[in-house]
Structure formats: structure tokens, C-alpha cells
A and B are shown apart, each in its own frame.
Chain A
């Protein structure tokens, strides 16, 4: 009798435990990031779970370089998470493919109204104008300078986007810097990031846009005639000349020559995140300047890794609740600030003196409203960026500029043709 009672109570306990485990709603979130961010997400999930004991947040990590492969595998295996981190320019492709759901109804209203224009732009799908993703942060690229070297050549230091260096001024300064003692390379364009990351398209395509062309015509969605147009050929020939003259830090020399011992690079075309590292090493010798104007107008990149909710989620409301929680979480914001994160929410901008007027990166934030050009919000973007990166690689390795850009444009147009123009982007509904 005693044994039976024990058995019965054990079974009851196991069933009760199973039932409580089943009662928990599991929300899976796929993300990338370095150890600091990974730990920040882990802590964030714990805080959310403490406030919402009926929810279990399961974090799915994928290394930055293999994120797209991981995502493809999840799609093929029909194992899309509830929440996914995505690089903003890929949003159109993901929405067009049916992977992402609109989020306006599941994100807290105060968070939605807190978004900057650039944040809204990077998360909005051009066809239905709906919001599909949101982020705490955004991004930009600026021109960093070594104050000592700039003073040696007597260079003017621009204070705002409006008085950015012109192409002539910029190239003249590169020439002068190449002759300054201690300068091994006048500029680091961070070729060290390689062609496996998004860097080349992200950071170099604004040079094309400033020069008066683009990766693709944003009305006809054709690349031939645009990417291989004369302004683009001229702009890329200019960059090739910098490389040929030995002015650019080579890919093999890594990504820190601006502040490495001896400061071998005088300028750096770097992301906003580069400031924290550079300032730690160089203190007040770091000068932050707007990107030069290579034509009639300035252009700068925007967009970063943002959060979307997938169509596979059975609990988009809970997923949205977690995303809202994350974007408002103080500790998460504090960690983002420690990484000199570029604000994508107005309240976060107010908390970030680095980007406020007078702050070291104020000019970077100014670019968001004056010169930011999002990468082409088209489903063919993965093909566009891959083709352009290959073209840049060829050009920097002494390839024929016109030929490399024509080949890239052809590849892009072929991808669009292979997908029947990605309707409704071709005008068909």
C-alpha cells in the first residue's frame, strides 16, 4: 500500500511538473554578436523571465559571419525563431519572401512613437509601408582624423555636415598626409573587414551616391546603366587610385592601424562603433568629421541589425512584448551606451551625450537627418551587395573598373530577371 502511494504521488508530481513546464510559452530569439552582446541578451532574457514567469526566452546564437547560413538553414528546416535579428538592408528580401510579420500591433505604442525617422525607414517595407522591424540603435560612418597629423598639414577641420570636405580637398589632404613623417597610410577604409561582411556595400556605396550614382536605379530597379555609369566608374577609379598609390591600409593589416602603436594611418573611414576603441587609445587626438562630399551632395550610410518577428511565431504578441521590454530595458541600454551605440530611439538619443550637440559623435548623428541614404530596399539586396562587393574586390586588386562594375550590374539585373522582377517591385500587383 505504502509503495503504491509512493508511486502514485511520484507520478502525480512528475505530471504536475510536466504540466508546469508545458504551460510555459517558449519564445525563440535568433541573434548574433560578440561575447559582450551575447551576455547582455542572456541577462535581458533572465530579467524578462523574472517578470514573466510563464515565458521562457530561448536564445539562438549564430556567429556574425555565418548568420545568413544559419538563417537559410532555419528557413529550410522550417525552424524559424519567433524573433530574429536581421541586418536592415535584408528586410525587403525577408518580407518579400514571407518570413517577417508586421509588428506595429504587437510593439508598445510608446516605443513606436520613440523611433527616429531613420529607424522607421530601415524597418519599413517599401511596398505596403508597414513596419516590420525595430531597433534600439542605428548606425553611420564618419571620417576619423588624427589631430596631430591634420595640424601638420594645416587641414581645415569640418565642424558639421554642411562644411564637409570636398573631393578635391579630401584628395589633396590624402596627398599631403602621405608625405608626413610617421604616416604609413593616409587612410584606413577598413578593408580588413573583408568581403564576407556587409562593410564594403555599407561604407563605400555612399561614395557612389555622393558622386551622383547608385548601386541600382531606385525607380526602374535596374542596375545596368546606373552602377556602371560614368559617375560610378569615376568614383571607383578614384578609390582604386588611392589603393594603387599605397594610401589605403591593405586588407592584411587588420582594422586598427588608425590607433595602433605609432598611429600609422592618418584618417579612418570608420563606423560610429570605432570611436570607443579609437578614443580609448588616442584620447583627444581623435577628430570626428563628416564624410566628404564626392559630388554635389553628401551621402552617408544608415541601418544596422534590428529586430523582427517572424511569420512562424505562434505568439507574436509575447514576442512583441519581449522586444518592447528589450528596447526599454535600462541595463540593456547602458550596455549599448558603453559600446557607443548610435541611437535609433529618441529617448535613447537623449540619454547618449556622445551624440548630443557638442558630443564627440554629434556630427555622426547629424548625418542621419541630412545625408543618410539607406541601402536599396529591394528584395534583390542580397544579390546587389554580393555583386558589388565582388566588384570592389576586383577593382582593389587592379581589375578594370568599368568591366567590374558592368559585370556586377549584369549579375544584379539577372537576379531580378530570374525572379520576374520580384513582383510587386516590377509594378505588378
Chain B
């Protein structure tokens, strides 16, 4: 259609489109947005500071910059700290510590998913007598802080002869009242018909768990994976107490080495912290969709 044609065409009746309403300034929304921005800054700024500091080559400069806006800026970025951390040899083979942490994380999460989901399922649908009492005990155990039982646990594991290895850093943390309860809550909310139909078809309790309920519990599995993973990754006091040598020592303890009696190697500690953060960040990003949906679901269902 030419321009002339356009010009000579009768003016069409304007279609009824909803009038564009000028958005009025909404003070509530503005405050909400500003609050969210501030919260986001508070959460992100330490991570940003960490990343920036890891690119500074002078540990004294890092300290001097702290408390000023220079802490968020690096004029001559360098990867020297990462190179130093990665190539630390002998007693402080950083890659080995990273691998140790990954092994501990993986084994704890896999073991935790199996044990806690089974326990949660039995508590929700099993024919066990006294389920209510056991459930109450599980909830009661949840409120006991880890630190308060840590010394008795040290004695137990040393008597069991499983100190200084991977097992001692994995086994005690597989069964968890919190995650058992999370799975229980999730399974208990699934329709009873599912369980009864499977039972009528002759499926055993384990079969119902494995073939029907477990595939439906992806959000719960993701949530527990992330929470357990973060917990396992950040363990600090426990590995210090139970590990004797470098063999199975995790990265969190390795980073503490940079905080010496007389000197603190902030540059290397920052680079090591960034390296420590990356795997768990990737882990979270991989599962976050289910993680968020599980939490939203939990909130709706109460």
C-alpha cells in the first residue's frame, strides 16, 4: 500500500481499545521497591566485596580499604591470589580440599535423601505403631542445636573408631529430624487415593514409596538437597574436631588456615572463599526452580 493510498483511504473507525491509563504514583509500591532494593544491596554487597577483594594482590590493602567505598573497587585486578591458592602444594593442596568437600556434600545429600525420605514416608503412610509419638520425638529433636550435642558425638564416633575420614563427616549428618519432617509433611499432603490404589494393585509399601510417591516429590527432594548441601558444605567445627590429617579435611577448614596466630592472609582467604562459594552457588542455581516452588507450595499449604 502506497503512501498515497493511505492518504486517500477513508478514516477507519478507531477500534475500541482500552484507554491507556496513566499510572498514578503509588507511594506504597515505591517504598516497597526501595526496600527491596536496599535488602538486595545488603545481601549482594558482601558477596561483591568478597569478589572484588579476591582480585586485589595486597592483603594489607584489602584491610586498609575495608570500611571505605574503595572496598568495592579494584584498580589493578589480578588473579594472582587464585593462582596461589590453586597451586598451594603439600599440606595445603587446595584442589584436594575442594574434592573432599564435594565428596562429603554428595554422599551426605544422597544418603540424606534416601534415609530422610524413607523415614518421612513411613511416618506419613506406614503402618508403624506409635507413629505420632515418633513424629513428636522427631520434631522435639529438631529444636536441639547441633553444637550442644557435638562433644558427646565426638566421643561416640571415636569409640566407634570412625575418626579422621569421610565416614565420620558424612554418617552423623545423614539422618536429620528437620529433613525427615519436611518429607513427612510433603508426603502427608499427597492424596490418600494414590496410596490406596497402589495397595489394591498389590504394591508393597516400598514399591509405593519408590514408584509413586518419590517421583512426585521433586520439589521436596530439591529443597532438602539444597539445604543439606549447604549445611554439609559449610561444616566447620565438626571437621575440625574429628579430622586429624589432611586426608579428608574439607575446604572450610583449609580456608581457616589463612587466619594464623600472627597474620591473616586476607588476599588468599578471599580468593579461596570465592572458590568455595562457586560450587554451592552452581548447586543452588541448578535446583532453585524446585526449591522456590517447594517453599511457595509449603507457604500456601501452611
| Chain A residues with a Cβ under 8 A of chain B | 28, 32-39, 41-43, 58-66, 69-70, 72-73, 76-79, 197, 252-257, 259-261, 271, 273-274, 277, 281, 305, 339
Task: Say whether A39 contacts B244, CB under 8 Å.
Answer: no
A260 CA to B246 CA, complexed, in Å: 35
Task: Say whether A79 contacts B258, CB under 8 Å.
Answer: no
| Chain B residues with a Cβ under 8 A of chain A | 60-61, 63-64, 66-67, 88, 90-92, 151, 154-155, 157-158, 163, 236-237, 240-242, 244-246, 253, 256-265, 268
Selected contact of A69 from candidates B158, B237, B258, CB within 8 Å: B237
A43 CA to B90 CA, complexed, in Å: 9
Selected contact of B64 from candidates A35, A39, A260, A274, CB within 8 Å: A260
Q: Evaluate whether A64 and B259 lie within 8 angstroms (CB atoms) in the complex, with A42-B90, A76-B151 already known.
A: yes
Task: Say whether B262 contacts A58, CB under 8 Å.
Answer: no
A252 CA to B157 CA, complexed, in Å: 39
Task: Say whether B91 contacts A77, CB under 8 Å.
Answer: no
Which of B64, B256, B262 counts the most A-chain CB atoms under 10 A from its CB?
A: B262
25 contacts between A and B (CB under 8 A): A34-B257, A34-B259, A34-B265, A35-B88, A35-B257, A37-B260, A59-B91, A61-B91, A61-B246, A63-B253, A63-B259, A64-B259, A65-B259, A79-B158, A197-B261, A252-B66, A252-B67, A255-B63, A256-B60, A257-B64, A259-B60, A260-B60, A261-B64, A273-B263, A339-B262
Residues in A with CB closer than 8 Å to B242 are: 73
Residues in B with CB closer than 8 Å to A36 are: 260
Selected contact of A39 from candidates B91, B236, B237, B241, CB within 8 Å: B91
A119 CA to B264 CA, complexed, in Å: 26
**Closest CB-CB distance, B276 to chain A, in whole Å?**
15
Task: Say whether A73 contacts B241, CB under 8 Å.
Answer: yes
Task: Say whether B261 contacts A69, CB under 8 Å.
Answer: no
Q: Evaluate whether A42 and B237 lie within 8 angstroms (CB atoms) in the complex, with A37-B260, A76-B155, A256-B64 already known.
A: no
**Closest CB-CB distance, B50 to chain A, in whole Å?**
16
**Closest CB-CB distance, A20 to chain B, in whole Å?**
20
Selected contact of B158 from candidates A38, A78, A305, CB within 8 Å: A78
Identify 9 new A-B residue pairs, CB closer than 8 A, beyond the known A33-B260, A58-B245, A256-B60: A32-B260, A34-B263, A35-B265, A65-B256, A76-B154, A252-B67, A260-B60, A261-B61, A273-B262
Task: Say whether B154 contacts A77, CB under 8 Å.
Answer: yes
Task: Say whether B67 contacts A255, CB under 8 Å.
Answer: no
A66 CA to B163 CA, complexed, in Å: 18
Q: Which residue of the partner chain B has the closest CB to A33?
A: B260
A32 CA to B245 CA, complexed, in Å: 13
Task: Say whether B265 contacts A277, CB under 8 Å.
Answer: no
**Closest CB-CB distance, B238 to chain A, in whole Å?**
10
Task: Say whether A61 contacts B60, CB under 8 Å.
Answer: no
Q: Evaluate whether A72 and B259 lie within 8 angstroms (CB atoms) in the complex, with A39-B92, A60-B245, A78-B158 already known.
A: no
Q: Which residue of the partner chain B has the closest CB to A46?
A: B90
Residues in A with CB closer than 8 Å to B67 are: 252-253
A34 CA to B263 CA, complexed, in Å: 7
Q: Evaluate whether A35 and B258 lie within 8 angstroms (CB atoms) in the complex, with A42-B91, A61-B91 already known.
A: yes
Which of A39, A59, A254, A305 counts the most B-chain CB atoms under 10 A from its CB?
A: A254
Task: Say whether B92 contacts A35, CB under 8 Å.
Answer: yes
Q: Which applies to chain A's interface (DSSP): helix, strand, loop or mixed?
A: mixed
Q: Which residue of the partner chain A has the closest CB to B90?
A: A42
Task: Say whether B244 contacts A38, CB under 8 Å.
Answer: no
Task: Say whether A34 contacts B258, CB under 8 Å.
Answer: yes
Q: Which residue of the partner chain B has the closest CB to A261?
A: B64
**Closest CB-CB distance, A184 to chain B, in whole Å?**
11
A43 CA to B259 CA, complexed, in Å: 20
A42 CA to B92 CA, complexed, in Å: 10
Q: Which residue of the partner chain B has the closest CB to A40?
A: B91
Q: Rank and list the top 5 A-B pairs by shortest CB-CB distance, nearest first.
A: A34-B260, A77-B158, A260-B64, A63-B256, A254-B63
A256 CA to B61 CA, complexed, in Å: 9
Residues in B with CB closer than 8 Å to A37 are: 260
Selected contact of A305 from candidates B151, B261, B268, CB within 8 Å: B261
A84 CA to B262 CA, complexed, in Å: 19
Residues in B with CB closer than 8 Å to A70 are: 240-241
Residues in A with CB closer than 8 Å to B241 are: 69-70, 73
**Closest CB-CB distance, A283 to chain B, in whole Å?**
15
A61 CA to B250 CA, complexed, in Å: 13
Task: Say whether B261 contacts A32, CB under 8 Å.
Answer: yes
**Closest CB-CB distance, A242 to chain B, in whole Å?**
20
Residues in A with CB closer than 8 Å to B92 are: 35, 38-39
Task: Say whether A63 contacts B257, CB under 8 Å.
Answer: yes
Q: Evaluate whether A66 and B256 lie within 8 angstroms (CB atoms) in the complex, with A254-B63, A256-B63 already known.
A: yes
Residues in B with CB closer than 8 Å to A197 are: 261
Residues in B with CB closer than 8 Å to A339 are: 262
Residues in A with CB closer than 8 Å to B66 are: 252-254
Q: Evaluate whether A271 and B61 lie within 8 angstroms (CB atoms) in the complex, with A28-B244, A59-B245, A63-B240 already known.
A: no
**Closest CB-CB distance, B70 to chain A, in whole Å?**
9
Residues in B with CB closer than 8 Å to A65 are: 256, 259
Selected contact of A61 from candidates B61, B158, B257, B265, CB within 8 Å: B257
A28 CA to B243 CA, complexed, in Å: 13
Residues in B with CB closer than 8 Å to A78 are: 158
Task: Say whether B63 contacts A66, CB under 8 Å.
Answer: no
Residues in A with CB closer than 8 Å to B253 are: 63
Q: Which residue of the partner chain B has the closest CB to A340?
A: B262
Residues in A with CB closer than 8 Å to B154 are: 73, 76-77
A69 CA to B262 CA, complexed, in Å: 19
A63 CA to B90 CA, complexed, in Å: 17
Task: Say whether A39 contacts B90, CB under 8 Å.
Answer: yes
